[in-house]
Amino acid sequence: MSNNDQSQQITASKLSASRKELLDLGAAAWTRLKSLRVETTATPLANQPSPYIKATFDEKVIGAVKELQVKAVHNGQDIFFYFEWGSENPNYTIGDVGTFPDGVALLLPFKGPDQTPIKEMGSKDFATNSWYWRPDFEEKPKNQIAHGLSTSLYTQETSLVSVSKWEKGTWRVVLARPLTVKEEAVNLTPGTETAIGFAVWEGGNGERGGVKAFSKEWRKLMLEA
């Protein structure tokens, strides 16, 4: 993992709180917890598989969202990620030409983060698992598996759930899932650590698919025992 700075570590604190409580954007737990500011940058045009995207997009305007605020907790059964970011005008659906839904996602490596390229969402031998939220998914986020660029596939089943709200220029989203699931995904265990990355889409900026802002380095995710 390239970033060993403890200030950049995401710690999923263990709380005695129910799933219902933590799937509440106004829960006291979220108010008390300090967030980690994650800087995001545009995905490189060189990494875009589409010739159309390469020819029509300006890398200087991709990645309209420059930072995410992230918090994480677990209750021994489920894990919850809280995201907050600025978006002056929310985009809920695919609209007119060049307008797409806003979105946020987290990315986990199945193994060996040092060998798993975050910019390409993994490789043939080092797959990644993303949890992908958009407002048009109706609080049923997608579970994705990728083995590199343009290989992302949704799993048929997903245990992910979410709650979200846009208000006064800010999106707030909580993504949640059991620590251990039956579908193809990265399972998580209290008392252990893994790596994590993030991505965010500003739909009004024409961002969709691989055109987004992302955290260009893995960060450590530590689950309290």
At 172, the amino acid letter reads R
Question: Which residues lie across from 67 on neighbouring strands?
Answer: 39
The residue among 145, 97, 91, 90 whose CA lies nearest residue 121 is 145
What is the structure's pLDDT at 45?
Answer: 74
**48 part of a folded domain:** yes
Kindly state whether residue 218 falls inside one of the protein's structural domains: yes
The pLDDT, as a whole number, for residue 44 is 78
What's the CATH number where 75 sits? 2.60.40.1190
CA distances to 42, 65, 66, 97, 192 from 46, in Å: 11, 20, 20, 24, 35
Q: Residue 109: inside a domain, yes or no? A: no
Q: Is residue 157 part of a domain?
A: no
Task: With respect to residue 67, please indicate whether it lies within any of the assigned structural domains.
Answer: yes
- Inter-CA distances, 175 with 80, 123, 127, Å: 6, 25, 21
Residue 120, domain member (yes or no): no
Q: Whole domain around residue 90: which residue ranges? A: 6-104+163-223
- Asked, for residue 155, whether it belongs to a domain, the answer is no
Instruction: Supply the DSSP string of the chain, one letter for each residue.
Output: -----GGG-EEEEE----HHHHT-TT-HHHHHSPPEEEE-EEPPGGG---HHHHHH--TTTS----EEEEEEEE-SSEEEEEEEEE-SS---S--STT----EEEEEEESS-GGGS-TTTT--SSS-EEEEEE-GGGTT-PEEEEESSTT--EE-S----EEEEEEETTEEEEEEEEESS-SSSS----TT-EEEEEEEEE-GGGT--TT-SEE-SS-EEEEE--
Q: pLDDT tens digits, the chain, 225 residues: what are they? A: 544 455 689 999 999 999 999 999 999 999 999 999 999 999 877 776 666 666 667 767 789 999 999 999 999 999 999 999 999 999 999 977 778 999 999 999 999 899 999 999 999 999 999 999 999 999 999 999 999 988 999 999 999 999 999 999 999 999 999 999 999 999 999 999 999 999 999 999 989 988 999 999 999 999 999
Q: How many domains does the chain have?
A: 1
Global confidence as pTM: 0.93
The answer to whether position 117 is within a domain reads no
* pLDDT 10s digits, 51-71: 666 666 776 778 999 999 999
